């Protein structure tokens, strides 16, 4: 079974993702990729175990390991770029606590598919250097400061004094970094879900569960909600309404264009990006390109077409002139900067970007090739309309098939989605009973 998926190696700990896999990854990286490896992790209980395994594998191959502690994924990306180095992020992002993952980052960027495939082949053999060449471990205590200072330097004239901001850290990796930077920029900050215990990351909190933050909002100007590794953020406006990634892309794209900062007047989204966003951008002379789902594919399109803004509805946004990967903190600050410069409330900016009805249904399914079944394809062709998008795809991180339909007619898209999902469930049951 292939180890690397759309976002590194990911799975349930001690079932799909074991210390042996982590050891072999560290060993292969230390032997073939770099003799300097930086490691960071989110707050999952399994992080220490997997970190120890990577360190053992890497040092056995002769590499020096720099241990950065708990940090967001984008922090490690920035550090590897500044240090011209390779890093491993131990995180399963928005997934539940029993999951974890290993993401390899080189000089700020996630590895291309072909490099991951080659690395996976290298992991099949172990390599041990002689006693005198064994690597060592360095506690890299500057990591937090290096990241925080970098982000602050990206917004030299941003003054957040007078803003009251709620931060839902999701009991994840940004429970210290985001509040620290916001306070340094002058904001009044209240933080919730910032007491990680190893088992509460993403549990009824954070960007995937905004209800808790909605309950806690009072006189706040906005709320910032992160996922487990803080490479994304969802916002709540002062009315407690959710402001997702499509709206963030729209409002920030127009601001960047007005400043002459939006390269080639292009924004890169995905096949799941809202059609309302595309209509909004077109009115402002901005073209929306659509990539496959996954931040790596968004980044590929951005690099190919010379764009510096792209992202997903989930709040995973890449501002390529500031960071090489999605950064929930930078995304939040870019949006707040747009608020400050426009003089508008977040709700006013968000309302300008239309949101067509969308429906997403998830069907548990281990055989992801079921999306290619002729009955599924026939239904997609049957219901395809010029003003309606239908996407049926396997999840890149979970044993699910996702049915996604969007368009202006809510009743129509719901009927289409449920009929296609029903057909897939029928096929899954047929396979299980065969």
β-strands 86-90, 64-70: how paired? unpaired
Nearest to 57 by CA among 10, 16, 22: 22
Minimal CA–CA distance to 92: which of 43, 156, 152, 128?
A: 43
**Pair of tokens at residue 400:** 């699910």
User: Which of 239, 224, 211 lies closest to 330 in space, CA to CA?
Assistant: 224
Residues 403 and 392: beta-carbon distance below 8 Å: yes
State whether residue 19 is helix, strand or coil: helix
The DSSP 8-state label assigned to residue 327 in this structure reads: -
According to DSSP, the residues that pair with 266 across neighbouring strands are: 287
> Is-catalytic flag, 46?
no
Distance CA 222, CA 294 (A): 27
Q: 230: closest CA among 347, 151, 345, 142?
A: 151
H/E segment holding residue 389 = strand 389-394
Name the 3-class secondary structure at 92: coil
Order the strands of the 317-319 sheet from edge to edge: 287-291, 266-270, 309-311, 317-319
Pairing of the two strands 64-70 and 137-139: parallel
Given 34, 46, 93, 323, the catalytic residue: 93
Token pair, residue 307, equals 């764009």
Residue 337's Cβ-side half-sphere holds a number of Cα atoms within 13 Å equal to 19
For 392, the enclosing helix (H) or strand (E) is strand 389-394
Q: Which two tokens stand for residue 344?
A: 């508008």
Sheet holding 400-406, edge to edge: 358-364, 400-406, 389-394
Residues labelled as active-site residues: 93
């Amino acid at each position: 079974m292939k180890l690397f998926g759309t976002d590194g190696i990911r799975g349930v700990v001690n079932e799909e993702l074991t210390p042996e896999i982590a050891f072999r990854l560290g060993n292969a990286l230390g032997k073939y990729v770099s003799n300097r490896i930086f490691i960071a992790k989110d707050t999952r209980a399994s992080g220490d175990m997997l970190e120890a395994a990577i360190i053992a594998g890497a040092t056995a191959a002769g590499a020096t390991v720099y241990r950065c502690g708990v940090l967001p994924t984008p922090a490690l990306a920035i550090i590897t770029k500044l240090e011209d180095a390779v890093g491993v992020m131990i995180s399963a992002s928005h997934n539940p606590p029993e999951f974890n993952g290993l993401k390899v980052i080189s000089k700020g960027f996630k590895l291309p598919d072909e490099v991951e495939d080659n690395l996976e082949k290298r992991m099949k053999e172990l390599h041990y250097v002689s006693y005198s060449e064994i690597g060592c471990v360095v506690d890299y205590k500057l990591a937090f400061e290096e990241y925080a200072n970098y982000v602050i330097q990206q917004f030299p004239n941003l003054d957040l004094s007078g803003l009251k901001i709620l931060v839902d850290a999701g009991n994840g990796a940004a429970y210290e970094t985001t509040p620290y930077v916001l306070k340094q920029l002058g904001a009044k900050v209240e933080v919730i879900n910032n007491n990680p215990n190893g088992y509460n990351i993403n549990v009824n909190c954070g960007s995937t569960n905004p209800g808790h933050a909605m309950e806690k909002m009072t006189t706040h100007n906005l709320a910032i909600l992160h996922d487990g590794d803080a490479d994304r953020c969802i916002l709540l406006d002062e009315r407690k309404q959710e402001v997702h990634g499509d709206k963030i892309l729209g409002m920030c794209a127009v601001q960047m264009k007005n400043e002459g900062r939006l390269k080639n007047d292009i924004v890169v989204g995905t096949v799941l990006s809202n059609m309302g966003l595309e209509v909004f951008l077109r009115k402002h002379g901005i073209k929306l390109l659509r990539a496959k789902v996954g931040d790596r594919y968004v980044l590929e399109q951005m690099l190919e077409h010379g764009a510096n803004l792209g992202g997903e509805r989930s709040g995973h946004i890449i501002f390529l002139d500031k960071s090489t990967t999605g950064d929930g903190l930078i995304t939040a600050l870019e949006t707040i900067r747009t608020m400050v410069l426009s003089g508008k409330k977040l709700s006013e900016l968000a309302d300008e970007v239309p949101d067509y009805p969308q429906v997403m249904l998830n069907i548990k399914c281990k055989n992801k090739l079921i999306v290619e079944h002729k009955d599924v394809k026939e239904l997609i062709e049957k219901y395809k309309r010029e003003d309606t998008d239908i996407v049926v795809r396997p999840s890149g991180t979970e044993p699910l098939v996702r049915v996604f339909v969007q368009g202006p007619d809510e009743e129509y898209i719901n009927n289409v989605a449920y009929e296609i999902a029903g057909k897939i469930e029928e096929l899954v049951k047929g396979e299980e009973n065969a």
